[in-house]
Amino acid sequence: MIQVKDVLPTLREALDTKRYIHSLGTMARAVLFAPRFGADPEKAALAGILHDCAKCLPKETLLGMAKEYRWDTGEEDRYLPILHGQAGAVLARTEYGVTDPEVLSAIACHVTGKRGMSPLDKTVYLADLIEPGRSYPGVAEIQRLARRDVDAAIILGTEKVIEHVRSKKGMAMHPASMETLEWLKENE
């Protein structure tokens, strides 16, 4: 299996400093949460460090990938900001040599989540939401909750993201995020 040390040099060159630091923070949180979700810490580290590997891709590249892989971009490409998850899974496989389907899944769904998330999917999703560099309304509350109850934290985090996207950014929420929240609440 590809390890974090194998991807760091290439990733460092691909990402700007802010995104690289965010990826390191996400990796650290993913390793911390992995045992609590029942996920493998090494896989959590790899998915955590690579989760935003496609953030550096230009819009045209993301749209080309969306067309090639038939991803839903929504009306007037309104879902473009979330495509980096799916694109990241492709890059992790093609550019970084990751073949583990669990790691690729965690990268692909780290933005919206999905129904039936695996322990590793949940680990990376929550780690990205509350890594130490995050500063959005409610993040401190989610971080505190995660110390006691990771499942409740992931639900609250999803609710806060949906609220933020709707009210602050005025964007339409991707249906996968709504389905994720519904699924999480059903399985609480």
**Domains of the chain from N-terminus onward:** 4-136 (1.10.3210.10)
pLDDT of residue 103: 98
CB of 185 within 8 A of CB of 155? yes
pLDDT of residue 169: 60
Residue among 167, 163, 187, 92 nearest 178 (CA)? 163
The pair of structure tokens assigned to 99 is 């073949």
pLDDT of residue 175: 86
- Relative orientation angle of helices 119-130 and 101-108, to the nearest 10 degrees: 40
pLDDT of residue 100: 98
pLDDT of residue 188: 78
> Consecutive 10-residue runs of the chain (188 residues): their mean pLDDT?
95 96 97 96 98 93 89 74 91 97 97 95 97 90 94 94 76 83 91
pLDDT of residue 11: 97
Q: 3-state SS string over the chain?
A: CCCHHHHHHHHHHHCCHHHHHHHHHHHHHHHHHHHHHCCCHHHHHHHHHHCCCCCCCCHHHHHHHHHHHCCCCCHHHCCHHHHHHHHHHHHHHHCCCCCCHHHHHHHHCCCCCCCCCCHHHHHHHHHHHHCCCCCCCCHHHHHHHHHHCHHHHHHHHHHHHHHHHHHCCCCCCCHHHHHHHHHHHHCC
pTM: 0.94
